[in-house]
Amino acid sequence: MSIATDVVSSGVNVYEAAPEDKARTTVVETTKVGVGIVGGIYTAGLVIGLASGGVGFIVVGIA
């Protein structure tokens, strides 16, 4: 649900951007969503890895 909210919010920001700023806004918003997703995956793997003694981190990394 959070990912969908971020994607919609970014889409609205790009839509509402001034025509001369649309390219820059698109790159910024896309980067924010991508970094958020990758950061969430890394954090989840780290938490699961610490909780399982390292095995979970390897499993999440492979997946």
Domain that holds residue 45: 2-62
Q: What's the pLDDT at 33?
A: 92
Q: Is 41 helix (H, G, I), strand (E, B) or coil?
A: helix
Look at residues 38, 39, 40, 63 and name the one whose alpha carbon lies nearest to residue 55.
63
Q: Which two tokens stand for residue 27?
A: 């790159």
Give me the helix-helix angle, 22-51 and 2-16, nearest 10°.
170
CA distance 42 to 39: 5
Q: What's the pLDDT at 57?
A: 67
Q: What's the pLDDT at 35?
A: 93
Q: What's the pLDDT at 47?
A: 83
CA distance 4 to 37: 11
Q: What's the pLDDT at 11?
A: 92
Question: What is the number of structural domains in the chain?
Answer: 1
Successive 10-residue mean pLDDT values, the chain, 63 residues? 88 93 93 91 82 72 66
The pTM of the full predicted model, rounded to 2 decimals, is 0.68
